[in-house]
Amino acid sequence: MDRLECSNSSERFRAASDRSHDRKGVVSSWISRSRGHSATLIFAAVLALAIPAAGAEPERRAVAYLAQETPKWFAGNHCFSCHNNGDGARALFLAVQRGYAVPAKALEDTLRWLRDPAGWDHNPGNPGFSDKRLARIQFAAALAEAWRTGYTHDRDALLLAAESLVSEQERDGAFPGAWKIDTGGVAGAPATYGSALATYMARRTLEIADAHRFAQPIGRANQWLNFMQPQNVLDRAAILLALPDSAPKHLDALLAAQTSDGGWGPQPHAPAEAFDTALALLALHGVVRPEAGANLRDAHNPAAAIERGRAFLAKFQLADGSWPETTRPAGFTSYAERISTAAWAAYALLTTDPKGN
């Protein structure tokens, strides 16, 4: 079983009651209360509206993939996944803001779950494969994105989620990733994050929720990140994401770690992976916006590095719109890692899209 996933349940998923959700760029939810085979067929038909034509841009293909996969875990297991309903949903909230067609039904159950932070710890699961602290960071990040993009206006829920994160912060300011997998320089994965990325994500949620109210824990997180010695590309990207002013310390090293095919791996000179590439792109985007006509042969131009990184993600995107999952060690098969990898890659492509869609 994949880490951080809730256990399978034999209980049949019951379609939630229909709620009209008219939004710009969102297909209205029109499925009436229904059960059984007919509900499944209707649900599949609605999701099919998001499937792009062959040859569509990588952003649209990724959004279509996530729109189909995000609701599947709850539908099949009657519990919620920090990969589907956390990372996957976070990318879809951004996609909706950017004008992509995401069926409202694809996010309906997720939004209901995210708006109840008090229930997150009661998600059915196998304790041996769960890390509730990291799950809270992932769910809170998705809720913060829903708030930031205007998908929900439930600020009380966001504040409650932020408060739950503060209680998990360590005395030195860090938020640990799952099992502190980054110990010894091993980079975090999409299902484990690692302390640098977990700290950035928790800090970002606090900032979105109320930067003034949570100024003290945000400051402690910043201080920890500022003095942290990065052990891998993921660490460096997370620090740069949180602290763009630290570019003089980290930018050159991040640029130098880009591979000849345009991506980034967990360590300099390591084969490029979609997850590490996505984080590097987001970090570079926070330092400089991509510019049209950038010289792709200029290794010291962050804008050029972003274009080459985007090209890497487009080249290695799979036919269904996802990417080969990033795992530590590399080369394993994991549905959870596949969803989170696709979510991070999609989020990076949407954020760095020079067309702005």
Residue 179 has pLDDT above 50, yes or no: no
Helix spans in the chain (H): 37-48, 58-69, 72-77, 89-97, 105-114, 132-148, 155-166, 195-210, 215-227, 233-242, 247-256, 274-285, 302-315, 335-352
Tens digits of residue pLDDT in 261-271:
999 999 999 99
pLDDT reported for residue 299? 55
Greater confidence (91 vs 291) lies with 91
Q: Retrieve residue 274's tokens.
A: 């979609």
Residue 147 has pLDDT above 70, yes or no: yes
pTM reported for the whole predicted model: 0.84
The Cα–Cα gap between 350 and 27 comes to: 19
Q: Under 8 Å CB-to-CB from 215, ≥6 apart: which residues?
A: none
The CA-atom distances, in angstroms, between 22 and each of 90, 186, 222, 318, 352 are 19, 45, 39, 31, 27
Q: Token pair 């030195």 is at which residue?
A: 172
Tens digits of residue pLDDT in 181-216:
444 567 889 989 999 999 999 999 999 999 999 999
Q: Token pair 């649209």 is at which residue?
A: 60
* 67 C-beta neighbours (distance < 10 Å), count: 29
**% of the chain with per-residue pLDDT over 70:** 76
* 5 C-beta neighbours (distance < 10 Å), count: 25
User: Which residues on neighbouring strands pair with residue 350, listed in sequence order?
Assistant: none
* Residue 126 CA, distance from chain mean position: 23
The Cα–Cα gap between 80 and 105 comes to: 15
Tens digits of residue pLDDT in 287-309:
875 444 455 455 578 999 999 99
* 320 C-beta neighbours (distance < 10 Å), count: 15
pLDDT reported for residue 131? 78
* 213 C-beta neighbours (distance < 10 Å), count: 14
The dihedral of CA 354, 236, 136, 214: what is its sign?
negative
Letter for the amino acid at 280?
Answer: A
Residue 4 has pLDDT above 90, yes or no: no
Tens digits of residue pLDDT in 49-86:
445 544 569 999 999 999 999 999 999 998 999 999 99
User: Which residues on neighbouring strands pair with residue 264, listed in sequence order?
Assistant: 273
Greater confidence (8 vs 246) lies with 246
The dihedral of CA 100, 101, 104, 105: what is its sign?
negative
The Cα–Cα gap between 343 and 138 comes to: 12
* 194 C-beta neighbours (distance < 10 Å), count: 27
Collapsed DSSP state (helix, strand, coil) of residue 321? coil
pLDDT reported for residue 312? 98
Residues 269, 187, 63, CA angle at the centre, nearest 5°?
90
